[in-house]
Amino acid sequence: MRVLELKTGYETKHVLGLDLNFPDGFGYTPERQTREILALRAQILALPGVRNVTIGRPPNGGGFRSATVVLKGNRPGSPNTERTLYYTYVRDNYFETMDIPISSGSGFRPDQQREPVAILSQSAAADLWPGKNPIGENLALDASNQPHWGSELIPQGTSYRVIGTVRDTRGVLLDGTDSSKIYLMLPSARLEDRPLLIRTEGDPRLLVNQISGLARDQDSNLVAYSETLDDMLTQSPQFVISRLSAMFASMLGALGLLLASVGIYGTVSYAVVRRTGKWESEWPWGRESAM
């Protein structure tokens, strides 16, 4: 029940994740991929029923990325200054699309793509600067020693200025330990390996066919795969394991109830037979046992 009632802190019912796969061998340079992604985003945004479209990994998909966090310009290894937190790259309209409110400061602006700025979740801000206002503080991120794809965009010792904080979100870790996050501005030139997140007025499933048709019309070689964030969350390994554990526990409980019921029935039947005088007639060994 706790899993089913998990408060994610972001919109899941009305957001569709659209992953685009550019097959090899068709001359898809990073520049061409970026052009096609932006063109498709503009077409989707024009569809009736679409409220907003952003680019970035949702909190419940795409795996986790972590980086070493160093405060106040201290180099990694300095005592009491180093942390390891999750981070992700998002576009400027990410929080609006995902319904994640700004708690303090401001969100990203389109003109900040070249400026190293960061937005923290509330729990990350409390962890890094307990009891203090983090706005205007600086932190350095280094993910070079953390697991990542070879060509993946990662922070490598860059110093970022904190410009805002946002409400905590929970992804797939049911204990909430993935709530501490650092959001970085995704450059326009690195959109190719992140999905489109589409916020709709109604059920996003009703727009799947139209969106798939737009992708095919734009590029017949483009492979598009869509899934609602709600489905993505309920199909995550942690959620599935929790459901299987609950089912297994329910089966054990039902078996225990059945065995207890059979035992109680047998005991009550035995007592009733003895008290109604049918002991010797219905239980041949009753006389010997009684003697």
pLDDT of residue 283 exceeding 60, the answer is no
Q: Is the residue at 2 inside a domain? A: no
User: pLDDT tens, 7-19?
Assistant: 788 888 899 999 9
What's the pLDDT band for 233 if we cut at 50, 70, 90?
A: confident
Q: Is the residue at 1 inside a domain? A: no
Residues 155 and 23 in one domain: yes
Residues 219 and 269 in one domain: no
Q: Is the residue at 8 inside a domain? A: no
Last residue of a domain, one of 230, 250, 270: 230
Q: Is the residue at 60 inside a domain? A: yes
pLDDT of residue 24 exceeding 60, the answer is yes
What's the pLDDT band for 253 if we cut at 50, 70, 90?
A: confident
Residues 152 and 284 in one domain: no
Residues 87 and 210 in one domain: yes
User: pLDDT tens, 35-81?
Assistant: 999 999 999 999 999 999 999 988 876 566 888 898 865 544 445 45
Total domains in the chain come to 2
Residues 254 and 193 in one domain: no
Mean of the per-residue pLDDT values of the chain: 82
Which of the given ranges, 159-168, 173-182, 247-256, has the highest pLDDT on average? 159-168
Half-sphere exposure of 280 (CA within 13 A, CB side): 5
Mean pLDDT of 182-190: 90
Last residue of a domain, one of 230, 253, 272: 230
Q: Is the residue at 3 inside a domain? A: no
Residues 170 and 246 in one domain: no
According to the model, what pLDDT value does residue 75 have? 46
Mean pLDDT of 138-156: 83
Residues 36 and 167 in one domain: yes
* DSSP one-letter string for 208-253: HHHHHHHHHHH-TT-EEEEEEHHHHHHTSHHHHHHHHHHHHHHHHH
Q: Which domain holds residue 282?
A: 239-290
- Minimal CA–CA distance to 87: which of 155, 23, 6? 155
